Chains A and B, each alone.
Chain A
Amino acid sequence: MSDNPVNDRIQSEIDENSVVLFMKGNPMMPQCGFSAAITQVLTQMEVKFKGIDVLADDELRQGIKEFSSWPTIPQLYVKGEFVGGCDIVREMYENGELKELLDNKGVEYAS
Chain B
Amino acid sequence: MAMDAADIERLIKEGLPDAEVTIQDLKGDGDHYAATVVSSAFAGKTRVQQHQLVYQALQGRMGNELHALALQTSAPDGA
- Residue numbers of A with Cβ under 8 A of B are 34, 65, 69-73, 82-88, 91
Q: Which of B48, B63, B64, B70 contacts A84 (CB 8 A)?
A: B48
List residues of B (32-70) whose CB comes within 8 Å of A's CBs: 47-48, 51-52, 55, 60, 62-64, 68, 70
> Which residues of B are at the interface with A, using a C-beta cutoff of 8 A?
47-48, 51-52, 55, 60, 62-64, 68, 70-72
Question: How far in angstroms is the closest Cβ of chain A from B53?
Answer: 11
With beta carbons under 8 angstroms apart, the residue of B48, B63, B68, B71 that contacts A82 is: B48
User: Are A72 and B62 neighbours in the complex by a CB distance under 8 Å?
Assistant: yes
| Contact in complex: A72, B63 (CB < 8 Å) | yes
Interface pair B60/A88, CB less than 8 Å apart: no
Given the known interface contacts A69-B52, A70-B52, A82-B48, the answer about A87 and B71 at a Cβ–Cβ threshold of 8 Å is yes
Q: Tell me if B55 and A87 are in contact (CB < 8 A).
A: no
For B48, give the chain A residue with the smallest CB separation: A84
Q: Closest A residue to B71 by CB, please name it.
A: A87
Interchain nearest-CB distance for A100 vs B (Å): 14
The reply to whether B63 and A87 form a contact with Cβ atoms under 8 Å apart is no
**Contacting pair B47 A88 (CB below 8 A):** yes
Q: A14 → chain B, closest Cβ, in Å?
A: 15
